[in-house]
């Protein structure tokens, strides 16, 4: 099934232009706002295979480029996801790149400047990317800190595209397209999400993402009431703090259909 993506600006045009010119792309935006779906849709639109890697603090250079493994008593080199993408002309998507160690991410530097090469120290191999290869990374600026941030030398090598949660009408369309929920219920879920994003709740590390609204809508289409679905998919995952949870459930109750949507 072709992934559906609802554009909110000129992000499609920017991505296509970067792809045509072999430029790496950096996607910036909050959790659950559609960055991954956007990459999936663009890979489909451009007819390129997509290789995705979720970054974490344990990610090593070997996890990216490959390692020697023993197979049938023989030592063999096995390409990592980045190397496979370079060899095959795929789009390589490094999701939440700031979670990876900086000594790991420097391996992408030769791919993101005028050299456009991948150097594998373990095999002394220098690889020129196949046609169509593109490096795409993403991160959530809300998680930036002294310890977790992209180095300036990395950031300045890329075309940056900023994302945010879509406006209410687009978000309604996304939820309906993803789940088949009726329009009135979708609008109530969007109203809940918008209200949570506006609230000044100290201690709430994240707000209601489009992803959480879609999850709630799936519960609704399975027969769960709107209030219960929003509580289970939005309020409970957002916080374990009892006071904050009560505040969120009250906000949900205030934005659901009177009588039918909540007990």
Sign of the alpha-carbon dihedral angle for 174, 175, 180, 181? negative
Asked if 103 and 28 sit in the same domain, the reply is yes
SS3 of 62, please?
helix
The count of domains in the chain is: 2
Flag whether 107 is in a domain.
Answer: yes
pTM for this structure? 0.87
In a domain, 210, yes or no: yes
Shared-domain flag, residues 157 and 175? no
pLDDT tens string, the chain, 263 residues long: the values are 567 899 889 999 999 999 999 999 999 999 899 999 999 999 999 999 999 999 998 999 999 999 999 888 889 999 999 999 999 999 999 999 988 887 788 899 999 988 999 999 989 999 999 999 999 999 888 665 444 666 777 778 899 999 999 999 999 999 999 999 999 999 999 999 999 988 765 667 788 999 999 999 999 999 999 999 999 999 999 988 888 889 899 999 998 854 344 43
CATH of the domain at 66: 3.40.50.300
Residue 17 belongs to domain spanning = 11-162
Same domain for 58 and 91: yes
Residue 4 located in a structural domain: no
Residue 61 lies in a domain: yes
Structural domain contains residue 182: yes
C-beta separation of 32 from 210 below 8 A: yes
Residue 16 inside a domain? The answer is: yes
On whether residue 144 sits in a domain, the answer given is yes
Closest CA to 90 of 144, 57, 53, 61: 53
Residue 125: φ, ψ to 5°: -105, 140
**Token couple for 189:** 């879920």
Q: Among the three residues 125, 142, 162, which one is the final residue of a domain in this structure?
A: 162
Q: Do 23 and 143 share a domain, yes or no?
A: yes
Would you state the structure tokens that stand for residue 100, as one six-digit string?
A: 């990876």
Residue 6 lies in a domain: no
């Amino acid at each position: 099934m072709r992934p559906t993506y609802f554009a909110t600006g000129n992000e499609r045009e920017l991505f296509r232009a970067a792809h045509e010119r072999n430029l790496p792309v950096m996607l910036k935006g909050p959790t659950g706002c559609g960055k991954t779906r956007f990459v999936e849709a663009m890979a489909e639109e451009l007819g390129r295979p997509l290789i995705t890697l979720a970054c974490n603090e344990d990610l090593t250079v070997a996890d990216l480029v490959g390692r020697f493994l023993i197979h049938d008593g023989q030592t063999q080199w096995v390409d990592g996801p980045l190397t496979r993408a370079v060899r095959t002309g795929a789009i390589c998507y490094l999701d939440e790149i700031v979670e990876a160690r900086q000594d790991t991410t420097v391996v992408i530097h030769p791919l993101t400047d005028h050299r456009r090469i991948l150097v594998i120290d373990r095999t002394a191999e220098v690889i020129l990317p196949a046609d169509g290869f593109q490096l795409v990374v993403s991160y959530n600026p809300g998680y930036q800190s002294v310890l977790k941030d992209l180095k300036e030398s990395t950031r300045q090598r890329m075309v940056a595209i900023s994302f945010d949660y879509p406006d209410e009408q687009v978000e309604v369309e996304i939820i309906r397209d993803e789940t088949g929920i009726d329009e009135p219920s979708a609008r109530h879920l969007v109203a809940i999400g918008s209200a949570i994003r506006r609230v000044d709740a100290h201690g709430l590390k994240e707000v209601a993402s489009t992803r959480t609204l879609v999850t709630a809508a799936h519960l609704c289409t399975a027969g769960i009431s709107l209030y219960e679905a929003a509580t289970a998919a939005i309020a409970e995952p957002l916080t374990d703090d009892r006071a904050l949870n009560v505040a969120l459930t009250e906000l949900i109750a205030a934005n659901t259909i009177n009588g039918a949507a909540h007990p």
